[in-house]
């Protein structure tokens, strides 16, 4: 898709109309850098996992983004099934950073879902369907080993 400078919505046959674009500016990278979104709502210092400094790291940011997106997908799937979505539902995301001699760096993840009070079979359907419609899950499909677990 070409860069659109006219301000009109971009459309791609495969991905559809752009409804939102997040913009972030990063300097210094994960080792002591910082990132800030164009609207100023997110302004974070970065640090290495388990390293010095009080910043966050890309894996934590990815886990937060993915789990919040997936949570919303679960709510949509519950609504489609006319299932009351539990007020105490949650998603715990775990994102692993791997290093191998053959492939360099890669990620794997676990999305652990709790839907208290929902019949286990229905909760599993919602969990699986949510993974199919979540944009983060779609983006990682075939690239990141992912487990979805109903807990």
Q: What is the mean pLDDT of the chain?
A: 92
Residues 113 and 95 in one domain: yes
CA distances from 108 to 6, 53, 66 (A): 38, 25, 12
pLDDT at 97: 96
Residues 73 and 112 in one domain: yes
Query: Phi first, then psi: what are they for 13, rounded to 5°?
Result: -55, -35
Residues 68 and 133 in one domain: yes
**What's the predicted TM-score (pTM) here?**
0.88
Predicted confidence (pLDDT) at residue 6 exceeds the cutoff of 60: no
Residues 126 and 96 in one domain: yes
CA distances from 76 to 69, 103, 135, 149 (A): 11, 36, 13, 18
3-state secondary structure of 61: helix
Residues 45 and 78 in one domain: no
CATH of the domain at 82: 3.30.300.20
Residues above pLDDT 70, as percent of the chain: 91
Identify the helix (H) or strand (E) that includes residue 69. Answer: helix 58-80
Radius of gyration of the CA atoms of the chain, in A: 18
Residues 38 and 63 in one domain: no
pLDDT confidence tier of residue 3, bands split at 50, 70 and 90: very low
Identify the helix (H) or strand (E) that includes residue 27. Answer: strand 24-27
Residues 45 and 64 in one domain: no
Contact 93, 63 (CB under 8 A): yes
Q: 132 pairs with which residues across the strands? A: none
Identify the helix (H) or strand (E) that includes residue 126. Answer: helix 120-133
Distance, CA of 62 to CA of 53 (rounded, Å)? 19
Residues 68 and 127 in one domain: yes
Q: What is the pLDDT of residues 133-144, one digit of tens each?
A: 999 999 999 999
Residues 11 and 85 in one domain: no
pLDDT at 7: 55
Residues 8 and 74 in one domain: no
pLDDT at 14: 74
- Among 30, 56, 82, give the residue marking a domain's end: 56
Q: How many domains does the chain have?
A: 2
pLDDT confidence tier of residue 50, bands split at 50, 70 and 90: confident
Residues 41 and 83 in one domain: no
Rounded (to 5) percent helix, strand, coil in the chain: 30, 30, 40
3-state secondary structure of 137: helix
Q: Which domain holds residue 20?
A: 1-56
Predicted confidence (pLDDT) at residue 15 exceeds the cutoff of 90: no
Predicted confidence (pLDDT) at residue 1 exceeds the cutoff of 60: no
């Amino acid at each position: 898709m070409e860069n659109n400078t006219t301000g009109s919505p971009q459309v791609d046959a495969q991905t559809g109309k752009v409804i939102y674009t997040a913009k972030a500016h990063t300097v210094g990278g994960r080792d002591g850098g910082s990132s800030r979104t164009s609207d100023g709502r997110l302004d974070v210092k970065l640090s290495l996992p388990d390293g010095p400094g009080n910043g966050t790291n890309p894996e934590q940011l990815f886990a937060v983004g993915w789990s919040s997106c997936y949570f919303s997908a679960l709510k949509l799937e519950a609504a489609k099934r006319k299932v009351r979505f539990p007020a105490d539902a949650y998603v715990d995301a775990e994102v692993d950073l791997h290093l191998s001699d053959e492939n360099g760096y890669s990620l794997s993840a676990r999305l652990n879902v709790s839907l208290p009070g929902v019949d286990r079979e229905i909760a599993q359907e919602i969990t699986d369907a949510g993974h199919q419609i979540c944009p983060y899950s779609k983006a990682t499909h075939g690239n990141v080993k992912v487990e979805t677990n109903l807990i």
